Amino acid sequence: MLPTNFVGLLSLCLATTAWASPAFHFSSLNRNEAHSNSGSTHRGSDDLPDDPSDDCGTDISVDDAHKEEKRFRTMRRPHRADEEHFTFQLHYHNVVANTSFEGGWLDDEVIQTMVDNLNADFSSTGVNFELAEINHWSEENWFFNANKTEGLDLEVEMKESTRVGGRDTLNVWTIQLPNGPAGYAAFPWNFDKTDQDSIRDGVILKYSIIPGGRSKTRFGRTLTHEVGHWVGLYHTFQGKSCSGEGDFVDDTPMQLAPTSTKNGCTAIDTCGNDPGDDPIFNFMDYSSDECRSEFTPGQIEKIRQELATYRYNEEEQR
Ligand SMILES: [Zn+2]
C-alpha cells in the first residue's frame, strides 16, 4: 500500500527529486514531462484558493508550557563556541493528489525559494537549513486527510513512511489541510516522549501558502513561523494574557491576543500596562506576512539553547 520512493536522477541545486506513486512511477525526467503536460502553473493563476486560515495549529497549554520550561531549566545545555552555526538537513515532502497546483504540486524552484526565504529569515539566528531532498509523493488520501484534524492515524502513517533522519533533521510536508490551520509543527522537547512523537516530528504546511501565490497576507512566512516552533519558540501571545510568563522570552512584549492579518502593520497594544506595543513584526505572531520579519535577541538565545539541548547535541543520549 505504501508508495515506493523512487529517487530521481536529476539534481536541482542541493536538492534531488523523487517521485513516488503506486499509480505513477516516474523518474524525474518523466515526471517533469508529465508536469509540463498538465498545463497547470500556480503563480499568477486566478483559480487559486482563497486566503487560508490565519491560524497555526501548534498549541500548548499554559500549564504544559510551564512544565516544559521547568524541565528545560534543569537540562538546559549552553551552546558552545563551535556551535556558533547550527546547520540542519531539510527533507521536503510535497504530497500531491495529482500534478496540478490544486492537486498540491509544487515545482522544485518554488520549494527552493521557500527554503531560501527560510534561511534569510533565520540569518540572524545562526541557524541554517540545507535542502537535501525534494520528494513528490503521489498519495491522494494523504494529501486530503493526513493531518491531525482529519486523520491523525493517517498523518502518522504518512510520516512513518516518508520521514528522514532523527532529531536533527527537519522534515516538511505540504498537504491540503482543507479545514484546518495554515500549518503546525512539533516542539523540540517532544521528540523522545513517545514513538509517535518521534515519527510526527517536523512541520506540516498548507500547500497553497507559497511565495508568489494569490494570498495577500500569507506568502511564505508560515514556514518560518512553524520552524520557529520546531526550534523551540512559542507564539508571542502564548497564554493570551497580560500577566504571567507569556512566551518565556523577556524582550517580546506581553500580548493578549494574536494580531489579525487584517490589522496590516499598524501598531497595536493589547497590554497597555506592559511596556511596548504588540510584537506585530515578529515571526511568531499571526500578523500579515508583510509585517513578519524578525526574531528578537531573546528569542534567538532561546532558539540556540533549545537546539543545543534538544536537537543539536552530539552527546545526545536522552
Ligand atoms: Zn504557531
- By DSSP bridging, strand 203-206 and strand 183-185 are antiparallel
Q: Please tell me the distance from the alpha carbon of residue 231 to that of residue 234, in angstroms, as a whole number.
A: 10
Whether the Cβ atoms of residue 89 and residue 132 lie closer than 8 Å to each other: yes
pLDDT at 78: 74
pLDDT at 1: 38
Domain boundaries, the chain: 62-311
Taking residue 309's Cβ as centre, other Cβ atoms within 10 Å add up to 21
Ligand 1 centroid distance, CA of 58 (Å): 5
Give the architecture (CATH level 2) of 62-311.
Answer: 3-Layer(aba) Sandwich (3.40)
150 included as an active-site residue: no
pLDDT at 53: 60
- Residue 186's Cβ-count burial label (10 Å; 0-12, 13-18, 19+) is buried
pLDDT at 210: 85
Q: Which of the 8 DSSP states describes residue 94?
A: E
pLDDT at 11: 32
Ligand 1 centroid distance, CA of 269 (Å): 20
Q: Per-residue pLDDT for the chain (318 aa), expressed as one digit of tens each?
A: 334 343 332 333 334 455 443 333 232 323 333 333 333 333 333 333 444 566 899 999 999 999 999 999 998 887 766 567 899 999 999 999 999 999 999 999 999 999 999 999 999 999 999 999 999 999 999 999 988 877 889 999 999 999 999 999 999 999 998 777 899 999 999 998 999 999 999 999 999 888 887 778 888 899 999 999 999 999 999 999 999 999 999 999 999 999 999 899 999 999 999 999 999 999 999 999 999 999 999 999 999 999 999 998 655 433
Ligand 1 centroid distance, CA of 69 (Å): 17
Per the residue annotation, which of 130, 226, 301, 314 is the catalytic one?
Answer: 226
This prediction has a pTM of 0.84
Whether the Cβ atoms of residue 117 and residue 159 lie closer than 8 Å to each other: no
Ligand 1 centroid distance, CA of 229 (Å): 7
Ligand 1 centroid distance, CA of 21 (Å): 31
Taking residue 315's Cβ as centre, other Cβ atoms within 10 Å add up to 6
**Residue recorded with cell 502553473:** 41
pLDDT at 269: 97
Q: Which of the 8 DSSP states describes residue 306?
A: H
- The C-alpha cell at 305 is 539553547
Q: Is 246 left (phi over 0), alpha (psi -120 to 50) or beta?
A: left
pLDDT at 257: 95
